[in-house]
Amino acid sequence: MTYKNPDKNGYYGEFGGAFVPEMLYPNVEELQHNYIEIIESEEFKTELNDLLKDYVGRATPLYFAKNLSEKYSTNVYLKREDLNHTGAHKINNALGQVLLAKKLGKKRIIAETGAGQHGVATATACALMNLECIVYMGEIDIARQAPNVARMKMLGAKVVPATSGSKTLKDAVNEALRDWINNATTTHYIIGSVVGPHPFPDLVARFQSVISEEIKWQLKEKIGRKNPDYVIACVGGGSNAAGTFYHFVDEPSVKIIAAEAGGFGVNSGKSAATTFLGTTGVLHGSKSIVMQTNDGQVIEPHSISAGLDYPGIGPFHANLFKNNRAEFFSINDDEALESAFELTKLEGIIPALESSHALQVLKKKTFQKDDVVVICLSGRGDKDMETYLKHLSQ
Ligand SMILES: Cc1ncc(COP(=O)(O)O)c(C=O)c1O
């Protein structure tokens, strides 16, 4: 059994599939039939790799965090996705999908965004490749991630507020899906995480898998072996985590840790810790673990970080959870803030609030002195400065 890729129907174990309204069948089927052939072609790979190298700035460093390592008496390496162009891992997927959309002859791009990083990445790729770009974003996220809204607008994207439900990421996905149904022939929907109907979870995981591909050769170069003892990443929908875990999930010696957003606490009624609170259900076109009431109504999530404020996880991660292949932690808002300030103080790196959830695992788990622990620093904290400053002055 492999954890890496789904079966031909898009299932990771019991999770995945494609649950879409009839009007989206042609689009989803077109993608299902063509995505592997297109993205595995030499022409596509060369074009994308050139962009990743010269435009995005890959490979991103694998940084040995000496001060953090000393504090936690282990060996901590940070995979610096925060140093990518536009400030997070999201650009790896956005560029790949915009290239794919061009090959499919689509002229119009839509996307959803939570923290704004996927929206900025998509708007950036669309500016580069001269495509129309519309980004759906929850009204609450528009307020709390204002710098990214400004960036999207400057890049030429239209930002459309999602005003239903909790006015956050889930609601933005709903609006984007609605748009796609109405504009199925002209439009490609660039999903920003490993969620949605098959083939999106696999497509996005493949574009993000460059993260673990690089970790392997970078570790080999630094310590003489390709596999760490632990890989750790935060999970919203799960794309930076899927990319970080991808080349390690089928290597039993590598332990995998996912950090979810606990919000005010798992039992507070204001949380986004899906594996702790969720049950099997269908959300946004795939079967996975979802926070829902007994009669299937989605429960509104809460997290201080817009990128983790989502009531589900991708089927890739649901399968890891179900099979105990990954250990899941729930990290609360205040704990994430604590880790953000700690990294800033110890290493001079201001992380995104999302990534700070992964950093907090250092406090939750005891590592051995000679363990090699790789944490994905999925993004930089510029977008979160207002939240940080609010807590700095308290
Ligand atoms: C910096 C950063 N990290 C993590 C995430 C969470 O998304 P995912 O779980 O798909 O990596 C986001 C989402 O916006 C983000 O901006």
135-165 pLDDT, tens per residue? 999 999 999 899 999 999 999 999 999 999 9
Residue pLDDT, tens place only, 76-90: 999 999 999 999 999
Task: Tell me the average pLDDT across 265-279.
Answer: 98
Quick one: pLDDT band at residue 315, thresholds 50, 70, 90? very high
Indicate the SS3 state at residue 64. Answer: strand
Q: What is the pLDDT of residue 137?
A: 97
pLDDT at 51 over 90: yes
Residue 204 alpha carbon, nearest atom of ligand 1:
10
pLDDT at 394 over 90: no
The reported pTM is: 0.98
356 lines ligand 1 (CB under 6 A): no
Q: What is the pLDDT of residue 289?
A: 98
Ligand 1 centroid from CA 153, angstroms:
20
Mutation test of ligand 1: which of 60, 82, 90 has the most ligand atoms closer than 8 Å to its C-beta? 90
Residue pLDDT, tens place only, 220-264: 999 999 999 999 999 999 999 999 999 999 999 999 999 999 999
Q: What is the pLDDT of residue 393?
A: 65
Percent of the chain beyond pLDDT 70? Answer: 99
204 lines ligand 1 (CB under 6 A): no
Q: What is the pLDDT of residue 144?
A: 86
pLDDT at 218 over 90: yes
Ligand 1 centroid from CA 224, angstroms:
30
Answer left, alpha or beta for residue 386, where phi above 0 means left and psi between -120 and 50 means alpha.
alpha
Which are the contacts of 42, defined by CB distance < 8 A and separation ≥ 6? none
Q: What is the pLDDT of residue 342?
A: 98
Residue pLDDT, tens place only, 169-192: 999 999 999 999 999 889 999 999
Q: What is the pLDDT of residue 286?
A: 98
Average pLDDT for the chain = 97
pLDDT at 17 over 80: yes
112 lines ligand 1 (CB under 6 A): no
Q: What is the pLDDT of residue 263?
A: 98
Q: What is the pLDDT of residue 355?
A: 98
Indicate the SS3 state at residue 184. Answer: coil
117 lines ligand 1 (CB under 6 A): yes
pLDDT at 386 over 80: yes
Nearest residue by C-alpha to atom 7 in ligand 1:
236
C-beta neighbour count of 323 within 10 angstroms: 12
pLDDT at 273 over 70: yes
Q: What is the pLDDT of residue 122?
A: 98
pLDDT at 272 over 80: yes
Q: What is the pLDDT of residue 139?
A: 96
Burial class (CB in 10 A: 0-12, 13-18, 19+), 215: buried
Q: What is the largest CA-CA distance in the chain?
A: 56
Percent of the chain beyond pLDDT 90? Answer: 97
pLDDT at 60 over 70: yes
Catalytic residues: 90, 112, 378
Residue 343 phi, psi dihedral angles, 5° rounding? -65, -40
Quick one: pLDDT band at residue 1, thresholds 50, 70, 90? confident
Quick one: pLDDT band at residue 281, thresholds 50, 70, 90? very high
Q: How far apart are CA 171 and CA 377, in angstroms?
A: 26
Q: How far from the centroid of its chain's Cα atoms is residue 382's Cα?
A: 18
Task: Tell me the average pLDDT across 359-374.
Answer: 98
Q: How far apart are CA 36 and CA 50, in angstroms?
A: 19
Residue 59 phi, psi dihedral angles, 5° rounding? -75, 145
Nearest residue by C-alpha to atom 5 in ligand 1:
307
**274-282 LR contacts (CB < 8 Å, sep 24+):** 274/235, 274/301, 274/310, 274/311, 274/312, 274/313, 275/313, 275/317, 275/318, 275/321, 275/328, 276/328, 276/330, 278/311, 278/312, 278/313, 280/14, 280/15, 282/19
